[in-house]
Amino acid sequence: MSTTETENLCGLKREDFQTTVEGKKTDLYILKNKKGHEVAFTNFGGALVAIMVPDKNGNFGNVVMGHDNIHDVINSPEPYLSRLIGRYGNRIAKGKFTLHGKEYQLATNDGPNHLHGGKKGYNVRVWDVTRMNDQACVLKLTSPYGEEGFTGELEIWVAYTFTDDDELIIKYQATTNKKTIINLTNHAFFALAGIANPTPTIDNVICQLNADFYLPIDPVSIPTGEIRKVEGTPFDFRKPMAFGDHINDTDNEQIKNGSGYDHNYVLNKKEEGELSHAAHLLEPVSGRTLDVYTTEPGLQLYTGNFLAGIKGTHGATYPRRSAVCLEAQHFPDTPNHPYFPSVELNPGETYTQKTIYQFGVEK
């Protein structure tokens, strides 16, 4: 694996990502496709730290938010920045749920609610990595029984593959020894304009989502239980629309509750678990595009409403609303809404998910 700035588009140095956390070594991994484009990540939280792809003029930029050394990754003011999320991505109301007749209490780390696996979720764990080839690595983690209040020991494998078609394919697999709940995702913060100082706002990014319905939320971002049509609302991305068109419609209760877009979309599916197109983004200045395909039933759209000008890679800064997250997942607070697609995993079953982030250009 190359380590010098001259050999790597991303300009990241392996030694800057090497330390020991709780007895486990951290490192930098760079996936390079036949075009020479790159995806770089560290095994601390599986954090993506660079995705180097060209714009319409052939100029390369990093389109994912991260940090350029392990110290800044570990101490990031945004603890979920482009990292793997679990055991339960998104929120669970009051951190409570009932499974096989027993009530469980999880950590409450987001106001009254449980968020993204708790105080010490998978985003701050050091994953074991096996490099398969220049374009693929497999990350492995054992999540012990009782961790953050969850039942069951989980064995988790996540494969990162970067294809010659500029697809970052993320495949997840998990097994358990006791009935449990699971909702894994990747919290990549995408900035298709390219990170900069400051990184441009996403207001002019054009978005299209393959979803007729979304989940309204209450003032603490928990789904109300309603599955609402997007039609006639600021949430209708069935036809391409710029985020800036309605992101400040604070007379809309839902935009107000999310401080912008921070909502789960119910993806249109012909059958459960099919790999289907979920989203298309176009950043009109650079011409860069992003297409998302997933087997998951939901997609959390988050427009970086709580980013607060943090410092990032190579002197870049990440102001409010300078990134968009498209987190493929099951729905928030599912254990407390029995009619949402199930997040239960039983012994003998295998949890699987496949999500593809494909980068391109529109000239």
What letter represents residue 106's amino acid? Answer: L
Question: Has 327 been annotated as catalytic?
Answer: yes
- 71 three-class SS: helix
* CA dist., res. 34 & res. 276, Å (int): 26
Task: State the catalytic residue, choosing from 67, 148, 327, 330.
Answer: 327
Question: Has 263 been annotated as catalytic?
Answer: no
DSSP 253-308: HHHHHHTS-EEEEEE--SSTT--EEEEEEE-TTT-EEEEEEESSSEEEEE--TT--
**Bridge-partner residues for 113, per DSSP?**
110
- 70 three-class SS: helix
83: Cβ–Cβ under 8 A, 6 or more apart, which residues?
A: 45, 46, 47, 48, 122, 123, 186, 187
| Buried-state track 144-172, b at ≥16 Cβ within 10 A, e below 16 | eeebbbbbbbbebbbbbbbbeebbbbbbb
Task: State the catalytic residue, choosing from 67, 187, 263, 280.
Answer: 187
Other residues' Cβ atoms within 10 Å of the Cβ of residue 105? 11
SS (HEC) of 85-97: ECCECCEEHHHEE
Just list the catalytic residues. 187, 327
